[in-house]
């Protein structure tokens, strides 16, 4: 299994993503600087990590979404590759149009950083299959702009198509319908605000994030 992590100026979870992918796959992820614009041939999974790309100038993910590497990301998605965007990565994927909706300021206007309970909305996806039989998990959140919004018809469609991956149990940011993670129409792109790469064991309190990566390994 071949993986890559895209690194933007201001990314701060790229090393966490690297460690998680290395631990679960047993191989070393390729760290791709955004200006290189090249995702290695044969890559199965690309991870767009959390952080504050370009210092969140304009709006979160907006400048990163116009980086040279984004055309490669679209091509990767078009040929059936998997993409996982976490926190700022989720914001970037929405800005690129790879996922519907947008992320805006938390309803409280405060930065939220804590272990967060999530409900498994669907375990029938390449990103969530390892959670089959589980109702709730704990994965940390750390964001100021995690409030997921979309038009009502978009929300109705992604719900009817089973594309809501996770919901908050006790909404920390005001996200529409408690949505914490969404999946693309083809089922190969997922964005989520909580950080599964920060819950894989070791120094963290809990391993509930492993399921996201183990699901992808199984799917690929």
Angle at 186 between CA 139 and CA 196, to 5 degrees: 10
Please confirm, yes or no, whether 113 is among the known catalytic residues. no
Instruction: Give the whole-angstrom CA distance, residue 208 versus residue 185.
Output: 25
Of 34, 76, 144, 195, catalytic: 195
Tokens coding 207? 């391993």
Of 34, 95, 144, 197, catalytic: 197
Instruction: Give the whole-angstrom CA distance, residue 110 versus residue 145.
Output: 9
Tokens coding 55? 């210092």
Nearest to 37 by CA among 11, 6, 12: 6
Give 3-state DSSP helix, strand, coil % of the chain, rounded to 5: 30, 25, 45
Q: Would you give the distance in Å from CA 16 to the centre of its chain? A: 13
Of 76, 87, 95, 143, catalytic: 87
Which of helix, strand or coil describes residue 98? coil
Please confirm, yes or no, whether 197 is among the known catalytic residues. yes
Please confirm, yes or no, whether 13 is among the known catalytic residues. no
Instruction: Give the whole-angstrom CA distance, residue 78 versus residue 99.
Output: 13
Instruction: Give the whole-angstrom CA distance, residue 155 versus residue 151.
Output: 6
Which residues are identified as catalytic?
Answer: 87, 195, 197
């Amino acid at each position: 299994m071949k993986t890559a992590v895209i690194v933007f100026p201001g990314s701060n979870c790229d090393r966490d993503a690297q460690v998680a992918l290395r631990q679960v796959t047993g191989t070393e992820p390729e760290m791709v600087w955004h200006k290189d614009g090249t995702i290695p041939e044969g890559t199965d999974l690309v991870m767009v990590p959390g952080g504050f790309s370009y210092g969140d100038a304009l709006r979160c993910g907006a400048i990163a979404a116009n980086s040279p590497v984004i055309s490669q990301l679209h091509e990767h998605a078009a040929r059936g590759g998997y993409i996982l965007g976490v926190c700022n990565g989720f914001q970037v994927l929405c800005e690129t149009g790879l996922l519907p909706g947008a992320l805006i300021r938390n309803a409280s206007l405060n930065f939220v950083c804590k272990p967060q309970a999530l409900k498994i909305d669907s375990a029938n996806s390449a990103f969530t299959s390892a959670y089959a039989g589980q109702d709730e998990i704990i994965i940390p959140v750390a964001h100021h702009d995690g409030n997921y919004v979309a038009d009502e018809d978009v929300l109705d469609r992604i719900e009817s198509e089973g594309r809501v991956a996770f919901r908050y149990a006790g909404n920390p940011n005001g996200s529409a319908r408690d949505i914490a993670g969404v999946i693309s129409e083809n089922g190969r792109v997922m964005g989520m605000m909580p950080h599964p790469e920060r819950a894989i064991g070791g120094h963290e309190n809990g391993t509930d994030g492993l399921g996201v990566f183990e699901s992808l390994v199984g799917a690929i």
